[in-house]
Amino acid sequence: MKLLLNALIKYVMGILLVCTMLFLPAWTLFYPGAWLFICLLFVPMLAVGAVLFIKAPSLLEKRLNNKEKEKAQRGVVALSGLMFPVGFVTSALDFRFGWSSVPLWCVAVASVLFLIGYGMYAEVMRENAYLSRTVEVQENQRVIKTGLYGIVRHPMYLATLLMFLPMPLILGSLWGVIPFLIYPVIIVFRIINEEKVLTEGLEGYAEYKAEVKYRLIPFIW
């Protein structure tokens, strides 16, 4: 019950926070892009959360924990925490004052990419029971090499790129894209530090790096 209550509180608080960052700067509830984004984000989140609560409550508990132990990762989390409100508020102000417009086909493509990223994210959670939100080596943790982990070493971060970068386009804003452009840089720094921690503390990770050459994007990096 404690886990369920914690998950529900964070879910509701997330909805309220996103609504505040979008509808308040837009100064209207008639913001179609915001409603589309909220549905794309929180409806699948509820479904995934319910499945985790029933089938993998320990993984759900890990996903709810965001207290980083690594000093380098705390800075990464802080930058991410700044990126989202700046991007959302900029997108909402863009809608309010009509600074830019995004064609419907672009909104549709961005929505599809977002859902593909969400699907990848869910698949990664299915494959990897050690998928914590914090960078750490867990007790009895082993290297996962199957599925998407056989293609790139950090498929979860690839999934978040597909989710986060299209967000402002779903919201109908071109100016909102600018704050989100920092995210790939954030991810690169996070991966470099995470691989250092895993190589030092997780048995077999050095060999895994030799087997799977690409960190994030196949044939690129």
135-162 residue pLDDT tens: 556 566 788 888 899 999 999 999 999 9
Residue 67: per-residue pLDDT: 59
First-to-last C-alpha distance (Å) of the chain: 42
User: pLDDT digits over 96-140, tens only?
Assistant: 999 999 999 999 999 999 999 999 988 888 787 666 555 556 566
Residue 105: per-residue pLDDT: 97
Residue 162: per-residue pLDDT: 95
User: pLDDT digits over 19-74, tens only?
Assistant: 999 999 999 999 999 999 999 999 999 988 888 777 777 766 766 666 555 565 67
Q: Retrieve residue 147's tokens.
A: 């599925």
Cβ neighbours for 174, distance < 8 A, ≥ 6 positions apart: 94, 99, 100, 101, 102, 168
- Distance (Å, whole) CA 18 – CA 16: 6
Residue 78: per-residue pLDDT: 80
Q: Retrieve residue 78's tokens.
A: 């802080």
Quick one: which of 186, 171, 183 has its CA closest to 89? 171
Residue 63: per-residue pLDDT: 65
pTM of the model: 0.88
Q: Place 194 in a pLDDT band, splitting at 50, 70 and 90.
A: confident
CB 38 within 8 A of CB 18: yes
